[in-house]
Amino acid sequence: MLRPKAHIVGGLTVLITFVRTLLLYSLVLVVMRVMGKRQIGELQPFELVVTIIIADLVTVPMQDKGLALLNGVIPVITLLFAQVTISFLSLKSQKFQEFICGKPNVLIKEGKVNYEELKNNLYSLRDLIEQLRGQGYFNLHDVEYAILETDGSLSVMAKSSKRPVTLEDLDLSTGSQGISYDLILDGIIQQSALTQAGLDEEWLLRELKKFGINDLKQVIIATLDAQGRLLYQAKELKYHNHQR
């Protein structure tokens, strides 16, 4: 016999593709996690490239049992190395970042279309108008500045007469908004949120007891809003609002 007995539990060959897929999927998950949020957000072109390539790289070894699994693993790790290196160098050197990612281009400046910049970016007027419409600007003349970012998105600033009114325009003052804290999720106390809110578990349990909640598992969600109100929802689906 030229082949050793396969060390596979069960012996169902259909599970080969199943196991290979799980292994490569786990690898891609870990790699994307290590690459970080900027990779998931695809902030720059090289990140988009990595996402596209990774998808293609793992597909073939997933399906073709004849290929060594390392044919998928090694390229993915290599891409991880390349992406982390480029990100690191971009952090250290602005010039390098400009070389890799380019610079933002001002397509509309002080209400006037910068035709040269449009041509340099192979961006037609139709493209520009379409993108502006996508952001809610149906009239090009309502726009003060439009900047084509390095990730391909268009950032738009409306003319002051066309933008939404703010409280500052009405000479109204407000206090600091603050954020709300999710203190309980799915019956589990969120310790970090409690600490950030400057509270402790005893306080939380005491407050909940006042409203007849003795078991945390009854609470789906409990939130402390910026005004100090404890809002919670118990499993009987009634939304409660109590002031701290």
Partner 1 sequence: MRIIIIVLLLLAVMIACGLYTERTLEKQASTLQQELDNLEKGILTKNRDETFNQLKTIESLWLKWRRLWVLLIDHHELENFELSLARTKAFLRAETAGGVSFILAEIATMKQLATQIPDKQNLTLENIF
What are the residues binding partner 1 (CB under 8 A)?
Answer: 1-4, 34, 36, 65-71, 74, 77, 80-81, 84-85, 88
**217 close to 233: Cβ distance less than 8 angstroms:** no
Min dist. Cβ of residue 73 to partner 1 (A): 9
Min dist. Cβ of residue 23 to partner 1 (A): 13
Instruction: Say which residue the tokens 């325009």 belong to.
Output: 169
Min dist. Cβ of residue 186 to partner 1 (A): 30
What amino acid is encoded at 156 in this protein?
A: V
| Cβ distance to partner 1 smaller for residue 51 or 218 | 51
Q: What is the rounded CA–CA span in Å between residue 185 and residue 33?
A: 24
Cα four-point dihedral sign 178, 179, 183, 187: positive
**224 close to 244: Cβ distance less than 8 angstroms:** yes
| Cβ distance to partner 1 smaller for residue 6 or 165 | 6
Min dist. Cβ of residue 33 to partner 1 (A): 10
Min dist. Cβ of residue 78 to partner 1 (A): 8
| Cβ distance to partner 1 smaller for residue 74 or 226 | 74
Q: Coil, strand or helix: which one is 105?
A: strand
Helix locations, the chain, DSSP H: 14-35, 37-41, 45-63, 70-92, 94-101, 115-120, 125-134, 191-196, 201-210
Min dist. Cβ of residue 45 to partner 1 (A): 21
Rg (CA), the chain: 27
Q: What is the rounded CA–CA span in Å between residue 29 and residue 37?
A: 12
What amino acid is encoded at 77 in this protein?
A: I
Q: Coil, strand or helix: which one is 21?
A: helix
| Cβ distance to partner 1 smaller for residue 55 or 60 | 60
| Cβ distance to partner 1 smaller for residue 22 or 77 | 77
What amino acid is encoded at 232 in this protein?
A: Y
| Cβ distance to partner 1 smaller for residue 58 or 108 | 58
